[in-house]
Amino acid sequence: MKISKSQIFTIISIVLLLFTYTGGKFFEYHDPVTGEVEFDEENMSFQPLSMLIPEGTEKIDTPPELVKYLGKTQYEYFPEKTIMGYVTGYWTLPVWRVSLEAPQYPKASYPEGIPVFFTLTDFRGKVVEMNVINHYIGMDPMDVGAYELRKLVPFVVLIFLVMLVGFLFYSGPGWWILGLGPALFPFYYVGIYSYWLYWFGHNLHSYGAFEVKPFMPTVLGDGKVAQFGTHSYPAVGFYMLFAMFILMLLAILSKRKALSEKN
């Protein structure tokens, strides 16, 4: 059976999507000073749906001020050494990178500032330190961001994979939707990421050590908040998803041309 250009582009897109979802182990954050993998058991930002968490997993009580966002119970669930790490989305690639710089974080000890990597389901890097800094300006911890939506990522990726497989073989009415829906993934991410940045910047609390007016954090590029310099840029996962977007556009155009010639 002859494989068309459209199918080749789609198959590569499927591989890119799968790698974005499962390839995070190849991009673990290593502390630039010690060279060790950065891991902090206090970082509870990875919280999949309870139906995906094994029975007997240790639970902790959510801090009272965060119950309205995170619920009463969280799970100490770090499936890095099991197959469930891939099923639940623990190993998704870093999609966006944010770092902060300030005088109290000298370059000798923090050559990259305070970096945090946003994956599709989690936050990696110096998450606890970043949450401490956020507290200084009256901002909620990052765990709150897209909390329920991040739990749905495994199912969203599964739906997109099914759509892409359907795109390989289906040529009936609305066939292009099967390709365009998953292709727009990077733009869904940027839109949701931007919304939550706005939400954090406009829902500040009075307990902050610095009084900061509501603001829109920098989505892309460099900025400044109080005494902190900020840097926000795409990471490897975003480039993978954007490459999928380009390939699926080519696949759609190629398939449309082939169907037009056939008819």
pLDDT of 39-73, one tens digit each?
Answer: 776 788 999 999 999 999 999 999 999 999 999 99
Average pLDDT of every residue of the chain: 93
- For the cut 80, the answer to whether the pLDDT of residue 1 exceeds it is no
- pLDDT(162) > 80: yes
pLDDT, residue 208, reads 79
Residue 204 and residue 214 in contact, taking contact as beta carbons nearer than 8 Å: yes
pLDDT score recorded for residue 136:
87
Residue scoring higher pLDDT (99 or 228): 99
How many percent of the chain have pLDDT more than 70?
99
pLDDT in tens, 175-228: 999 999 999 999 999 999 999 999 999 999 988 777 888 999 999 999 988 788
Q: With b meaning 16 or more CB within 10 Å and e meaning fewer, what string describes 139-171?
A: bbbbbbbbbeebbebbebbeebeebbeebbeee
Rounded to two decimals, what is the model's pTM?
Answer: 0.93
Q: Decide if pLDDT at 33 tops 90.
A: no
Q: According to the model, what pLDDT value does residue 42 have?
A: 76
Residue-wise DSSP of the chain: -PPPHHHHHHHHHHHHHHHHHHGGGGG--B-TTT-PBP--TT-------GGGSPTT--EEEPPGGGHHHH-SEEE----TTSTHHHHTTTTPPP-EEEEEE-TTS-TTT-TT-EEEEE-SS-EEESHHHHHHHHHHTTPPPGGGTTHHHHHTHHHHHHHHHHHHHHHHH--STTHHHHHHHHHTHHHHHHHHHHHHHHHHHTS--TT-SS--------SSEEEEETTEEEEEEE-HHHHHHHHHHHHHHHHHHHHHHHHHHH-
